[in-house]
Structure 1
């Protein structure tokens, strides 16, 4: 039986490799992870201030300002006045930003589905159970 510390190390390495490979599947814009992360956060939560985005993405506000400016230049987000605080701006997705998120997700799902389809039903069942366990680990 594998010890918890040994399994922890193996899972860390394995999930890291898996995530790097999955993230290599990108939409047409081939956005860096930080920019795509902002788009997905706006997809999940709706319009946010740059400060809220910086907090949720775990970066400093100046870094988020640069990321948002790059996304504005690409046409994926817009900035507008905050409805109640004139000192702030609100960042929101454009239709092009929504399409980029949808296309990246589609490509990632297609890549993963193809690989899962090559596995045996038993291996897919094992992964389904492992997914349940990973969800439990992530929430606890």
Structure 2
């Protein structure tokens, strides 16, 4: 758990790092909004619901608590999200293979197709934008992608 006294302050961050942090925050937020805008118009799911489908696609079947931890939400919130996804036919619940007390959430064929179609559409949009960049700019992004991923996963 992170406490307020653990949070960075202006005094703890150099001006150069603070400037870079501000530029990255703004750029990443704008790109995220733009990619969200590129979702398929028929996709009625929220970004949070799509994130849950993505977690299941990447990780396989998970318990509600594991899903909540992945998405940094409380279990009751995840239960509501999973209930909506289940009602829409995107996920199903099944008994845990070895622990009879647990229920796993599994991606259905419809959920998998929704994730893949959503990713394909947004990847295609981004690939078109990347073609407008120089080879050097694409090389910089290729190097930055794993660093950005590591930043996103840091607690």
Q: TM-score, normalised by structure 2?
A: 0.78
RCO comparison, higher one (Cα < 8 Å, 6+): 1
Q: Secondary structure of 1:75's partner? A: coil
Q: Which runs of structure 2 are paired with 1:93-132 in the superposition (5 Å)?
A: 93-131=107-145
CA RMSD after TM alignment: 2.1
Compared with structure 1, are the counterparts of its residues 21 and 62 closer, same or farther at alpha carbon in structure 2 (3 Å cutoff)? same
Task: Find the counterpart in structure 1 of residue 92 from structure 2.
Answer: 78
Runs of 4+ in 1 over 4 A off after TM superposition: 135-140
* Distance (Å, rounded) in 2 between the aligned partners of 1:98 and 1:105: 11
Q: TM-score, normalised by structure 1?
A: 0.86
Among 44, 58, 70, the alignment partner of 1:30 is 44
Task: Find the counterpart in structure 2 of residue 63 from structure 1.
Answer: 77
Task: Find the counterpart in structure 2 of residue 134 from structure 1.
Answer: 148
Among 17, 22, 25, the alignment partner of 1:9 is 22
Q: Give the superposition deviation at 1:113.
A: 0.8
* Distance (Å, rounded) in 2 between the aligned partners of 1:137 and 1:92: 28
Specify every segment of 5 or more residues in structure 1 that has no aligned partner in the other structure, as ranges. none
Task: Find the counterpart in structure 1 of residue 106 from structure 2.
Answer: 92
Task: Find the counterpart in structure 2 of residue 49 from structure 1.
Answer: 63
Paired positions, count: 139
